[in-house]
Structure 1
Amino acid sequence: MDPLLAVADATQAPRDPTTGPPPVLEDREGRLYAIGDIHLSYKVNREELEKLHPRQDDGLILCGDVGETPEHLREAFKQATSCFHRVWWTPGNHELYTLPKQKEHGARGEKKYEECVEVAREFGVLTPEDDFVLWEGEGGPCLIAPIFTLYDYSFRPAHVPLEGALDWAKEEHIEATDEHLLHPDPYKSRIEWCEHLVNRTEHKLSAAVAANPGVKLVLVGHWPLREDLVRLDRIPRFSLWCGTKKTENWHIKYNAKVVVSGHLHIRRTDWRDDTRFEECSLGYPRQWQDCKDQGMDINDMLREILPGPVTPPPDLRQTVWRRYG
């Protein structure tokens, strides 16, 4: 079983970032927020989304796992764009699912991703297929860089060979639903798709850094970039589906000020090499019920990315386990 499972019944070519400066948001003194894993297959989470407060000068990042269907995406994008000046989205594994009822006619793999991108464009939401935008609000200037990388089962102990990785996880009764619903078409495997995505993303990030010397990036993805940020005490072998070691040094290589992710349903802040890492999941209702019991709602669960918290001195940069945003 998948311990994180929620129960759920490109036509525009991006501009080559080497040909000129990136688009700039209108001059606003807003803040940038993020939230991921809002899982709109749950009625409670859908009701919470409706409570989102207007922040017309601010930006919002939705870092994956909005839901499993185009309807989930439309619901999220409609509400988010009505409340925020600019919205970014990057896919999680749940957006890429082809549900059993869609087995015969539903989009699969890369086509499912492209379907999601088209829905985002209906609402003007920026995706990994669009230009990186220069944020000049509080905490800027920074390039906001949504990315899509997937995973390749490399987040595993050294003694576990790739060919035995799935059996190793099954020994603890762990098997992600991705193995049944996230198809790699047209690639032979999710590993091959991941390799393609990583290579493609590296090219785009390298071009952006070269074209914007000295400008920091905010890297926005669903899966954690680093294995050492994946701590799942109750289900450690779920790490197989949590990222790829190929992105381990991207925060240095691509001059990242902040790296934003979700997927783990464990809110935390970490520092590596002067870069702040923010895990921004909301999660399933039971996983944030204690916050609701204290009178909090979705607005309290938003994480401020820019300007964000004050940078602590190096000797005090320990993991901060965040109860809420």
Structure 2
Amino acid sequence: MRLFAVADLHLGFAANREALAEIEPRPDDWLILAGDVGETFNHMRLAFEALLPKFRQLVWVPGNHELWAVAERDAEPGVPVLRGAERYLAFVDLCREYGVLTPEDDYPLIVVEGREARLVPMFLLYDYSFRPPEVAKADALAWASEGGVRCADEQFLAPAPFSSRSAWCEARCEETLARLEALGDETVPRILVNHWPLREALAKPPRIPRFSLWCGTKRTEDWHRRFNASVVVSGHLHMPSSRLIDGVRFEEVSFGYPKQWRGRRAPDAALRQISV
């Protein structure tokens, strides 16, 4: 089978919802959805119902937009708006209803174009450590604001039951680290998947470089080497790219907002083939 990946479908936009119909069927292949499918459970259902008939298996990792608790978007009569870890786990439950793999499942051993690989979907968040060394963490938001940058996560992404998004990030990193170390010294290459970039150098949007605060954690800087990765897949930046670092390919696979893809590429072309 072949492995494909796409991130940042942002199905809150009508044009992006319509674009799903243009994705060609690949019934023998797997598709990674690397976060920011949308903001609501209905967005996720829409993605699954459009894409599951076209692929053998879907794999999902969360982005920040799935974690947004926006009452007017989520409102269903008699259903409370979920926040924080409770919201994430509710999305995991939804994935399991559809047979979609998540970071909470065992990391599958797969065969991609005849080569074995361990697929590792992760949920790691960010901790504001992607900032200059002279900027203290307590001053990080002010530093970003001075550059005209503020992320909506500060309003919509609740970390409950954790004290902060940084604390939630630390817990997710520790849990994932333990699982990766438990794999031992197997020689099978790994495909690491996370919505946010694993390295700071990849998290600097040229127009808004101070947005890096919300783009990952320095804790993962060496994970591509430490855990025998052949490929690292991410999204979040809306800057599709393919780079080789330390012999490892880093694939940013964002689709993006309508203004970012319309007239530039067909929706089906946004799917990146991932080779081991």
Which of 257, 270, 274 aligns to 1:284? It is 257
Aligned to 1:147: 122
Aligned to 2:222: 249
2:29 equivalent to 1:58: yes
Distance 1:69 1:171 in 2: 32
Aligned to 1:322: none
The two structures have a TM-score, normalised by structure 1, of: 0.81
Letter in 2 for 1:227: E
- Distance verdict in 2 for CA 1:175–1:139, change over 3 Å: farther
Aligned to 1:188: 163
For this pair of structures, how many residues does the alignment match? 272
Question: Deviation of residue 289 (structure 1)?
Answer: 1.8
Distance 1:133 1:184 in 2: 28
Cα displacement string for residues 156-189 of structure 1 (whole angstroms, at most 9, x for unaligned residues): 0111100000011111221100000000000000
Aligned to 1:163: 138
2:95 equivalent to 1:120: yes
2:2 equivalent to 1:31: yes
Stretches of structure 2 that go unaligned for 5 or more consecutive residues are none
Stretches of structure 1 that go unaligned for 5 or more consecutive residues are 1-29, 308-325
Is the contact made by 2:240 and 2:254 (CA closer than 8 Å) also made in structure 1? yes
Letter in 2 for 1:276: R
Is the contact made by 1:139 and 1:306 (CA closer than 8 Å) also made in structure 2? no
SS of residue matched to 2:256: coil
Is the contact made by 2:204 and 2:210 (CA closer than 8 Å) also made in structure 1? no
SS of residue matched to 2:132: coil
Distance 2:141 2:31 in 1: 36
Aligned to 2:15: 44
* Deviating more after overlay: 179-188 vs 134-143: 134-143
1:1-325 aligned within 5 A: 30-101=1-72, 105-138=80-113, 140-208=115-183, 210=184, 213-291=186-264, 296-306=265-275
Letter in 1 for 2:270: M
Identity of aligned pairs, percent?
A: 48
Cα displacement string for residues 242-282 of structure 1 (whole angstroms, at most 9, x for unaligned residues): 00000000001110010000000001111111110000000
Distance 1:230 1:184 in 2: 22
Distance 2:159 2:203 in 1: 24
SS of residue matched to 2:112: coil
Distance 2:66 2:202 in 1: 23
- Distance verdict in 2 for CA 1:232–1:139, change over 3 Å: farther
Is the contact made by 2:71 and 2:81 (CA closer than 8 Å) also made in structure 1? no
Is the contact made by 2:204 and 2:211 (CA closer than 8 Å) also made in structure 1? no
Distance 2:52 2:226 in 1: 32
Aligned to 1:22: none
Is the contact made by 1:62 and 1:88 (CA closer than 8 Å) also made in structure 2? yes
Cα displacement string for residues 41-92 of structure 1 (whole angstroms, at most 9, x for unaligned residues): 0000000012221111111000000000000001111222110011100000
Letter in 1 for 2:173: V
Structure 1 runs (4+) deviating above 6 angstroms are: none
Question: Deviation of residue 139 (structure 1)?
Answer: 5.7
Distance 2:87 2:255 in 1: 24
Distance 1:284 1:139 in 2: 35
SS of residue matched to 1:290: coil
The two structures have a TM-score, normalised by structure 2, of: 0.96
SS of residue matched to 2:80: coil
